[in-house]
Amino acid sequence: MAQLSSLGTPEQLRDPNYTPALHKAIPLGIQHVLAMFVSNVTPAIIVAGAAGFGFGSGSPDFPVLLYKDVNRHARLT
C-alpha cells in the first residue's frame, strides 16, 4: 500500500480526473500495454494448444494448414 500512496493522496486517487506525474504515469502506461498484450495473446495460445498446435507439438499438418488458404487464394487470382 506504500507504493500506491506515492501516486497521490487518497482523495486524488478517488478522483477519476486525476493524472499522476509524468515520471509515474509512463511506467504505469507501459505496464498497462503489456498487460493488454498478454491478455490478447493468451487465449490464442490456449486454443492452439487444445487443438494440438501448441509449441513443440510436432504436428506434421501444421505447415499445410498454415499455408493452405494462401495457396488457394493465389490460384484464384
Q: What pLDDT is recorded for position 60?
A: 60
Note the pLDDT tens digit of each residue in 39-76. 888 888 888 878 777 666 665 655 555 555 555 555 55
Neighbours of 59 (CB within 10 A): 13
Extents of the domains making up the chain: 2-76
Mean pLDDT of the chain: 76
Measure CA 73 to chain center.
30
Distance CA 24, CA 18 (A): 13
Q: Is residue 3 scored above 70 in pLDDT?
A: no
Q: What pLDDT is recorded for position 6?
A: 78
Entry pTM: 0.49
